Amino acid sequence: MDKLKDKLRGSFFIVNKIYLFIIFLFLTVSDITLGFVYFLISIFIFIWKTLTYKVPMDVNCEIDVETFTYKETEEKDLKLDLYYPPNKTINKYPLIYFCHGGGWISGFRNQPNNVSWCKYLASKGFIVSSIDYRYGFKNDMDDILSDYTEGLEYLKKRSDELGIDKDNVVLIGLSAGGHLSLLYASYHSFHKNNDKIQGIKAVVAYYSPSNLKDIFDSDNKSLFARFGTAATLNGRPADIGEIYDYYSPIHWISEMMLPTLLVHGKLDDVVPFVSTVELVKRLKNFNVPCEFYVHKNAGHSFDTRLKDLTTINILEKTLRYLRKSVTGDNK
């Protein structure tokens, strides 16, 4: 029975919520007004959930936030938010460079789940930045990576003014944001671009793809994940496999890779769990300091959707890892 439940939960029909569309069609055929009401209710529920997702730890202190434009493009001005620790007592704080997810085609820096992450980490004694970047609809992965890079360089160049300790930086990202963090660290460490990774102590990636071809594995049923990846890379792996390899962090892992923390839910139906398992194996093959936290009963984005003890424990362990990283004890 459990195997049947797992199979059904991971089916194309459930993962892509096709059942909701079928209900909509049925109601519309029966009564167009009823179908329209169902559509509005579905939109309301989706928006309500999006606005209420947050990490399961409340922040009971004032967190100051400043917004900066770090890059101007023809499409739009790209902004970043800086979250400061409460009751600042020192001149400089370690920087958590946070990057949101959304399949490279959606999401934004001040989405409620991202804000909750930033406030939580800032309340624990870090300066936390959250950046916007261009989407894969009109741009390619190089454009997105250049945004990611320029956001980080903007903060490093203005570190004295902003109160940032540029020699104590941790990259952290969720889903597609974690992919960007891993790719930045693995690519530049592989090529020994020391100026790019100077001061970066570790990388943290939550439920992020390390091999982009895994998104198109037959066991992965998420249409959103496939669409976002293909739209950003301008093709499918069967046609442009070398491009998929180039933008997959797993292919740039070397003994020079920065210490890495990986987190994934075993029931993830958007980014295959195996993608992180394979990355862990490769990191260990190169003797890269690596930690791997697994939630056996969770899917994608579990960090802000669940409030169970396992989720809280993983978040608290992540905080301890961040603290170890900036104090030099993560070997």
Residues 30 and 163 in one domain: no
Question: Please, how many CA atoms are within 13 Å of residue 240, restricted to the half-sphere of its CB?
Answer: 14
pLDDT (tens digit, 9 = 90+) per residue, 199-251? 999 999 999 999 999 999 988 888 999 999 999 999 999 999 999 999 999 99
d(CA 42, CA 24): 10
Give yes or no: residues 195 and 171 share one domain: yes
Is 8 in the same domain as 130? no
**Do residues 36 and 65 both lie within one domain?**
no
Q: Is residue 53 part of a domain?
A: no
Same domain, 40 and 149: no
Please provide the size of the chain in residues.
331
116 pLDDT exceeds 90?
yes
Q: How many domains does the chain have?
A: 2
Mean of all residue pLDDT scores within the chain: 90
Q: What is the pLDDT of residue 24?
A: 46
Range of the domain at 299: 60-327
My answer on whether 30 and 83 are in the same domain is: no
User: Do residues 40 and 155 both lie within one domain?
Assistant: no
Mark whether 262 and 300 lie in a shared domain: yes
Per the domain annotation, does 174 fall within a domain? yes
Asked whether the predicted pLDDT for residue 78 surpasses 50, the reply is: yes
Q: Distance of CA 2 to CAs 283, 296, 297, Å?
A: 33, 14, 13
Residue 154 lies in a domain: yes
52 belongs to a structural domain: no
Average pLDDT over residues 271-299: 97
> Tell me, what CATH number does 148's domain have?
3.40.50.1820
